[in-house]
Structure 1
Amino acid sequence: KLKKNTEQMKIVEQTKRIKTTTRNFGEIKTGVGDGHPTAAGRKQASKHSENVASIQSAVEAAWHTMLVQLLSQLRTDLQLPKCLQVVGYLRRMQAFTTPELKLKFLQIRTSWFRELLAKIPQEDTHIHLTKTIEATRVHLFNIITQYKAIFSEDEDSTVGLATISTDACAADGAKIFHSWLHDQIVDFINTLEKDLASNDINSYDTILGQCMYFGLSFSRVGVDFRSLIAPVFIRVISLNFQTSIVKITCQFEQEIERYTLINKVSTGIKRTKASDRAENSNHPPESLLDFTPLAIYCNEVLTVFNELRLCAPIALAPTVTEILEASLETVCRNILSFYRQEQQAFTASERECFVRFCSCFAYDLIPYLQRCIHFIFPPTTIVNHLGINVLTLQKHGITFLRQKKILEAIEYLLPDKIESVIKQVGEMNVSTTTTTTVATADGDGDKEAEVADKTKQVVAGVAKQEITAGGEL
């Protein structure tokens, strides 16, 4: 009886110790002991079922409460030493096998991490995305570090077992961490793409730099995922550019429908010298000011280009060229449609104005947009990346607009560029001679010869420029 009484007292003392431990978490080391805390109680329960049943039930409840408290500690922002201590207690309690403990650890830490992300305000997409990137980088890195520190030996032994054992559980245990990490990266990429597609981001370059730093920092734990970030930005920027250009094209269609050539006075001759000076610059041609639809179209495209150049991946060069080329073809068809609707009512001056409209589109706007593309995507940069020459780049239409294809719809309406220059020079000479006194017959002959020589020089210069432009476009 004395021996039985001693065994019963041990059970009662263990019960009191566990209850005290559950109330005072700081003394949990005393309450956990070695092995399962109810093991002794279960052995005695088989011998003294009536006397020990209530005690065993109390021990089970206290042990469960202690387990819940330990798991709840993992739902907080734990530092590595505290995390090691908590998981060490869980191991000593033998509540989970090693694979189960790994899974439980990742589940609880992920649940806490998700709650943290859910608290980030979503009213401002830009702020939400920047804070999400920062929080994910810091806390996900901490979870990975904690996991590798806690289960480093288990990972090594489990991998060894997986190679020599037929036990499927051992093999699955080796994949738990990698599957979990893959899911976290995929969730982050999905959040990134969702926020970027909202069109509320102030600057893509800032977000891109932050994401690249995020991916680079994870290379320290063997998880450099920067290659997964680039396609997201390429897709989003490409989609936004296409949407903007389509909107601009529709706007041009509305403008050309309201446009009229009545009382349109040409001021192109006054701007000839200024246009020549700006031919190779980034300033738009001043001749566009004569034609409102073209000027509005050019301004809107420049706005989109200014947004694009802040974050312009080289991989987008072919896409940007194709989208803009398709837009210009649509603009060209709209010009042709306008001509077919209005041509019968054209006066001589209106017909001449329409020809200048087409010339401005073909010889001023398209070459200028070509220069803008090369400003954003320099051919030399692309050539260096691809390892080809500029001629091959031009052949495949990478950053080069196919002017002949664009102007195919209105080609028969366009005057030859050399003939138009001869006409402009002739008009300038006529206006000059009308404001001077009449010279003698011999003097007139010398004057005409001088004008003819100047005309030949101008034509030769234009022809030379056209050959050069043809090589660029």
Structure 2
Amino acid sequence: MDVAEDNVLKLIYPDGLSDHKRNNPEFIAYLSKLGSMGVDNLAKEPDKLSEEKAAVLEQTQELAFTNYKTFIQTAECSRDIFQKFSKTENHLESLLQKLPEFSKKCQEFSKKSADISAHRHLNSITLNRNTQLLEILELPQLMNTCIQNGNYEEALELASYVRRLEKKHQDIPIIMSIVKDVQLAWQTMLQQLLAQLRTDLQLPQCLQVVSYLYRMDVFTEAELRLKFLQARDTWLQGLLKSIRKEPANQHLTKTIELTRIHLFSIVTQYKAIFSDEEPVVTSTKNSNINESAIFYSWITEKICQFLKTLEEDLSKGVGNSLDSIIGQCMYFGLSFSRIGADFRSLMAPIFIKVISKNFENAVKKCTKTFESDIDKFSFVKLQSKMYAGAVANQPSKQEQPVHSLLEFYPLAEYCNGVLTAFNELRVCAPLAVSQNITNNMQESLMTVSKVILTVYRRKQQAFSEAERERFVKMCSCYADDLIPHLQHCLHVLFPPASIALNLGIPVQQVHKEVFHYFQIYFHDLEFLLDQGWC
């Protein structure tokens, strides 16, 4: 609008014109039309407008009367539309309130859908690789089956494969569960292999079992040697414990046989499996282990164990089989010289002790018998020709006792007992026991001499002349016949030449040093003889 139009509007609307009318194009066009009219037309314009208003009102009324139904329907429709718009507005407000929660639910659904999709994808992959997965899941069962059937080669390969799986997939729980189950089976396999070493195995089987233990890499070199020796020793001890304890000679013979055969077999197996050509020292945090010394410590223990059994059984008494046992033991010790474990020198003191002890017991028994017999012996001279005939028919062999002893049965019985002990000793008479035998005989003869003197002192007052002569004759027989004969028998058992040869000294020195010679001093008996009792 221009300034003129504004002035006209102020004149027409002194209170001002609303913005609605000001912006209405029809109002602007009508205002322009008024501005172009003349005064006459302007004067007529109000009447014209009134007529038009009346005509419009009349038309409106006529339209209302004619189309009142339409207006009513329109009003009802408007009302319904208003109500529905109100409901729609309420629903929209409710929708706006629930939209955030709905959006959250949609996000959760989207996430779950993605997870389901991922799981479906994994399930599809799992289904496609079902065979490979079953092979992995069945590894523990397959491992146990291999171990139960003795297929240790396949079991080692499976264990190696499982270790590789563990390195690659440590974060997968099912893989770690499989590894745990396989480790349990691994321990079972280890126990089975060690149990096999406790049975009767030949060298090829031992080599195979130890090779499996090597490949399992469970023990160090020193530990494996110890385990091998412990397992084989358990088997050997089981065999030895199964031997009957009685009688002692059979138990000892069987022990020697089993120990010699099986111990040598174990040593052969050990030497074939483990090399001890050069001392191998394994360093640990705390000490150094000489692996070659493990075997020699073990074999020393086994030898000491055998020597203990030998000593225990010999102490129980083995009868007349002592020489056979000594031969077996010496062969046993000699056979072990091939492995540097000749222990014959350790057995010698045991046999010397047993032989000496047996002879000592036999001589003590003879001595006690003489003590009891001499008290019962009567010195009254018997009128019999048996002694004269016996003396006349006496053989010339010096090994036979003089028949004059038959006149004095305590001396004869004592001589028979000693000769019996000598005969038992003759079967196995090592030179090392000669001095012990000599000392035992000397003690026994000294005891016999003291017993004779005690009898003299106790009965001399009651002796008749004949009884005194008979007593002196018995003393002469004892000193001149019995003792030289026993000395001769001792020299037959232990020839001085043999002793000199073993000692590396001349025979004259043996006589000079009085080795295995009786040194008995009968001062009282000699006094009696010198006084003319004989």
Which TM-score band (shorter chain)?
A: 0.7 to 0.9
Q: 1:90: how far off?
A: 0.9
Residues 1:15 and 2:15 aligned together: no
CA distance in 2, matches of 1:415, 1:36: 101
Q: 1:115: how far off?
A: 0.3
CA distance in 1, matches of 2:168, 2:132: 8
CA distance in 2, matches of 1:138, 1:318: 36
Q: 1:261: how far off?
A: 1.1
Residues 1:56 and 2:179 aligned together: yes
Equivalent AA in structure 2 for residue 370 of structure 1: Q
Equivalent AA in structure 2 for residue 123 of structure 1: E
CA distance in 1, matches of 2:480, 2:498: 26
3-state DSSP of counterpart to 1:33: helix
Partner of 2:375: 257
2:423 to 302, 306, 327: 306
CA distance in 2, matches of 1:347, 1:52: 113
Residues 1:290 and 2:407 aligned together: yes
Higher alpha-carbon Rg: 2
Partner of 1:241: 359
Q: Give yes or no for contact 2:252–2:310 (8 Å, CA) kept in 1.
A: yes
CA displacement 1:52-105 (0-9 Å, x = unmatched): 343223212211111111111111111001110011011111121111111111
TM-score, length-normalised on structure 2?
A: 0.71
CA distance in 2, matches of 1:202, 1:289: 29
Equivalent AA in structure 2 for residue 17 of structure 1: L
Partner of 1:33: 157
Partner of 1:394: 511
3-state DSSP of counterpart to 2:272: helix
Q: 1:48: how far off?
A: 1.3
Q: 1:260: how far off?
A: 1.8
Q: 1:410: how far off?
A: 2.1
Partner of 2:167: 43
How many residue pairs are counted as aligned between the two chains? 408
Q: 1:141: how far off?
A: 0.5
Equivalent AA in structure 2 for residue 21 of structure 1: C
3-state DSSP of counterpart to 2:218: coil
Q: 1:411: how far off?
A: 2.1
CA distance in 2, matches of 1:263, 1:221: 69
1:136 to 235, 239, 259: 259
Residues 1:207 and 2:340 aligned together: no
CA distance in 2, matches of 1:409, 1:128: 51
2:306 to 170, 188, 191: 188
3-state DSSP of counterpart to 1:345: coil
CA distance in 2, matches of 1:35, 1:412: 97
CA distance in 1, matches of 2:502, 2:383: 48
CA distance in 2, matches of 1:311, 1:289: 29
Partner of 2:44: none
CA distance in 2, matches of 1:93, 1:271: 85
Partner of 1:80: 203
1:330 to 423, 428, 447: 447
CA distance in 2, matches of 1:38, 1:187: 45
2:218 to 95, 103, 108: 95
Equivalent AA in structure 2 for residue 28 of structure 1: Y
After the TM superposition, which of the residue ranges 106-115 and 118-127 deviates more from structure 2? 118-127
1:374 to 491, 515, 519: 491
If asked which structure has higher relative contact order (CA below 8 Å, sep 6+), I would say 1
Q: 1:34: how far off?
A: 8.3
- Gaps spanning 5+ residues in structure 2: where? 1-121
Equivalent AA in structure 1 for residue 426 of structure 2: R
Q: In the superposition, relative to structure 1, how do residues 318 and 156 fare at CA in structure 2: closer, same or farther (>3 Å)?
A: closer
CA distance in 2, matches of 1:170, 1:29: 33
Partner of 1:466: none
Q: Give yes or no for contact 1:238–1:316 (8 Å, CA) kept in 2.
A: yes
CA distance in 1, matches of 2:165, 2:365: 77
CA distance in 1, matches of 2:272, 2:204: 10
Residues 1:65 and 2:188 aligned together: yes
Q: Give yes or no for contact 1:70–1:86 (8 Å, CA) kept in 2.
A: yes
CA distance in 1, matches of 2:308, 2:189: 38
Q: Give yes or no for contact 2:280–2:291 (8 Å, CA) kept in 1.
A: no
CA distance in 2, matches of 1:261, 1:54: 102
Equivalent AA in structure 2 for residue 303 of structure 1: T
CA RMSD of aligned residues (A): 2.6
3-state DSSP of counterpart to 1:397: coil
After the TM superposition, which of the residue ranges 92-101 and 199-208 deviates more from structure 2? 199-208
Q: In the superposition, relative to structure 1, how do residues 270 and 412 fare at CA in structure 2: closer, same or farther (>3 Å)?
A: farther
Partner of 1:231: 349
After the TM superposition, which of the residue ranges 228-237 and 262-271 deviates more from structure 2? 262-271
Q: 1:140: how far off?
A: 0.3
3-state DSSP of counterpart to 1:344: coil
Q: Give yes or no for contact 1:328–1:406 (8 Å, CA) kept in 2.
A: no
Equivalent AA in structure 2 for residue 95 of structure 1: V
Q: 1:386: how far off?
A: 1.7
Q: Give yes or no for contact 2:429–2:493 (8 Å, CA) kept in 1.
A: yes
CA displacement 1:340-370 (0-9 Å, x = unmatched): 1111011111011101010110011001101
CA distance in 1, matches of 2:471, 2:192: 83
After the TM superposition, which of the residue ranges 388-397 and 91-100 deviates more from structure 2? 388-397
Q: In the superposition, relative to structure 1, how do residues 142 and 38 fare at CA in structure 2: closer, same or farther (>3 Å)?
A: farther
Residues 1:222 and 2:340 aligned together: yes
3-state DSSP of counterpart to 1:171: strand
Equivalent AA in structure 2 for residue 23 of structure 1: Q
After the TM superposition, which of the residue ranges 292-301 and 223-232 deviates more from structure 2? 223-232
Residues 1:173 and 2:298 aligned together: no
Q: Give the alignment of 1:147-158 within 5 angstroms.
A: 147-152=270-275, 155-156=276-277
CA distance in 1, matches of 2:160, 2:267: 29
Q: In the superposition, relative to structure 1, how do residues 196 and 214 fare at CA in structure 2: closer, same or farther (>3 Å)?
A: same
CA displacement 1:154-192 (0-9 Å, x = unmatched): x346x2446xx6876543433211110100000011111
Q: 1:409: how far off?
A: 4.0
Q: In the superposition, relative to structure 1, how do residues 75 and 166 fare at CA in structure 2: closer, same or farther (>3 Å)?
A: closer
CA distance in 2, matches of 1:34, 1:80: 27
3-state DSSP of counterpart to 1:46: coil
CA distance in 2, matches of 1:21, 1:172: 36
Q: In the superposition, relative to structure 1, how do residues 43 and 6 fare at CA in structure 2: closer, same or farther (>3 Å)?
A: farther
Equivalent AA in structure 1 for residue 377 of structure 2: Y
Q: Give yes or no for contact 2:380–2:470 (8 Å, CA) kept in 1.
A: no
CA distance in 2, matches of 1:173, 1:9: 45
- Gaps spanning 5+ residues in structure 1: where? 421-473
Residues 1:411 and 2:529 aligned together: no
CA distance in 2, matches of 1:5, 1:397: 99
Q: Give yes or no for contact 2:371–2:448 (8 Å, CA) kept in 1.
A: yes
CA distance in 2, matches of 1:161, 1:200: 46
2:434 to 317, 323, 328: 317
Q: In the superposition, relative to structure 1, how do residues 320 and 44 fare at CA in structure 2: closer, same or farther (>3 Å)?
A: same
TM-score, length-normalised on structure 1?
A: 0.80
